[in-house]
Amino acid sequence: MDRLISTAEADALITAAVPAVTAERVPLAEALGRTLAAPILADRDLPPYPRSMMDGIAFHSSSAQPLAIQGLHAAGDPPPAPLQPNHAWEIMTGASVPADCDTVIPYEDLEWLRRPAAGRGSGGPPQTQIQAAYHPGQFIHPTGSDAKAGDILIPAGRLIGPAEIAIAASVGATHPEVAARPRIALITSGDEVVPPDAAPEPWQIRASNGPMLEAALRQLGHAAVSHHIPDEPEAARATLHRALDTADLLILCGGISKGKKDLIRPLLEERLGPPAFHGVRQRPGKPLAFWPGPPTVFALPGNPVSVLATFTRHVIPFLIRREGREPHHPKRFLPKNTEPLPKFAWFLALDAAGNPLPPRNSGDFVSISGLTGFLEIPPSSDFTQQPLSFFPLYPFS
């Protein structure tokens, strides 16, 4: 490892390496969870016509009462015939208000002198009397009052959720332009690791880092090509070089500390030169290394809690910025009976209720079941104020 740097210094170096956003078009049905690379614009005024906000009657406010009902005007109907004097249309919510009407009255404010069902066919047209005060424009959603043609409805950089899908569909944006996602290679290492479905020898462990990061990436909408490399230079070199040739982003687990079989740094330096940093004043995850690339490389430690902490704290914000958004770090207060570390930032695991889930060591991943993210507690020498930044594992806002 090199000189240990602070988490803020690591942030600056990682952020400086974020590449420019590239874009692609996807079908709207596949856009959920993607980030807009170009804004969605209104293709016409919204609403495109004066819209009735109630089921009731539409008429002109200058009309005398009682009002005779000329007919029914429902949502989706074209403009009706001109309204006769002292007449009204029965109108449904969502229908276009006829041009010669300026007021809508809901059914509950009407007294029927001759009801529609009974009046049609005998005794003359239905008639009604208004039983409440009203004013012109009442219960009419005016044309263009939500947006004008050409207005930006969703800005670039916005994460697409169900509401954004509805807006895009309403203006015919069937193939929105979204931030392209990187090709990710995920590489784990270690001779002690066997597949999850294998029966391990007493000196072996089943793989957990790979499945954990694959799941975390899927939760963020990313896919990864996964590899496992042995602690043997030639085989590891071949896999690493193939990944460097094909991926935009490499995430490695293990092999980056000071052990005799920690091969990752020298093998990466053969292609990428020295890292931007190797070693951060943080726990867990001190051996973290970073190459700006291309391709960008995060070399995470091997212990599971360290892997998840450094992925959440450093890789997730990078992925968010790579799509043109800024990560959001909610603020939380230091839990009771918790003290900062003297010289290291501490990533404290929290559950959904904000309760600490402190592992006994960086390999104790059993203790962090229920984890929702990590609270970064600055070293005591830098601890000046609260609340503190919380780094969520599922940052969908």
CATH number attached to the domain at 28-46+145-178: 3.90.105.10
CATH superfamily, region 7-25+180-322: MoaB/Mog-like domain (3.40.980.10)
Range 185-190 average pLDDT: 90
pLDDT score for 261: 67
pLDDT score for 364: 73
pLDDT score for 119: 44
> How does residue 35 score in pLDDT terms, banded at 50, 70 and 90?
very high
Token pair 């009902």 is found at 69
Residue with the larger pLDDT of the pair 363 and 199: 199
pLDDT score for 118: 52
pTM of structure: 0.86
Q: How far apart are CA 126 and CA 110, in angstroms?
A: 12
Gyration radius of the chain's alpha carbons: 31
Residue 356 backbone dihedrals phi, psi, to 5 degrees: -65, 145
Instruction: Report whether pLDDT(51) > 90.
Output: yes
Burial-class residue 383 by CB neighbours within 10 Å (0-12, 13-18, 19+).
Answer: middle
> Which of 93, 79, 88, 80 has the alpha carbon at shortest distance from 51?
93
- pLDDT, the chain, mean: 92
Residue 122 Cα to chain centre, angstroms: 60
Residue with the larger pLDDT of the pair 117 and 371: 371
Token pair 């016509």 is found at 49
Buried b (16+ CB within 10 A) or exposed e, 188-214: bbbeebbeeeeeeeeeeeebebbebbb
- Tens of pLDDT, residue by residue over 66-125, are 999 999 999 999 999 999 999 999 999 999 999 999 999 999 999 999 887 654 555 678
Burial-class residue 6 by CB neighbours within 10 Å (0-12, 13-18, 19+).
Answer: middle
Range 287-301 average pLDDT: 95
Range 143-153 average pLDDT: 97
The answer for 381, left when phi > 0, alpha when psi is -120 to 50, beta otherwise, is alpha
Token pair 């569909």 is found at 169
Decide if 282 contacts 344 (C-beta within 8 A): yes
Instruction: Report whether pLDDT(274) > 50.
Output: yes
Instruction: Report whether pLDDT(157) > 90.
Output: yes
Terminus-to-terminus CA distance in the chain, angstroms? 35
Range 274-281 average pLDDT: 97
Q: How far apart are CA 366 and CA 327, in angstroms?
A: 28
CATH number attached to the domain at 51-141: 2.170.190.11
pLDDT score for 123: 65
Q: How far apart are CA 387 and CA 397, in angstroms?
A: 19
Q: How far apart are CA 139 and CA 314, in angstroms?
A: 51
Looking at the chain, the whole-number percentage of residues with pLDDT higher than 70 is 96
Decide if 171 contacts 153 (C-beta within 8 A): yes
The CA-based dihedral angle spanning residues 77, 79, 85, 89, taken in that order and rounded to the nearest 10 degrees: 20
Among 50-54, 255-259, 306-310, whose mean pLDDT is lowest? 255-259
Residue with the larger pLDDT of the pair 179 and 198: 179
pLDDT score for 162: 96
Looking at the chain, the whole-number percentage of residues with pLDDT higher than 90 is 77
Residue with the larger pLDDT of the pair 118 and 228: 228
Q: Kindly list the domain boundaries of the chain, sorted by start residue.
A: 7-25+180-322, 28-46+145-178, 51-141, 331-392
> How does residue 231 score in pLDDT terms, banded at 50, 70 and 90?
confident
Instruction: Report whether pLDDT(225) > 90.
Output: yes
Instruction: Report whether pLDDT(365) > 80.
Output: no
> Which of 273, 28, 287, 55 has the alpha carbon at shortest distance from 165?
28
Range 222-228 average pLDDT: 92
> Which of 377, 216, 396 has the alpha carbon at shortest distance from 312?
216
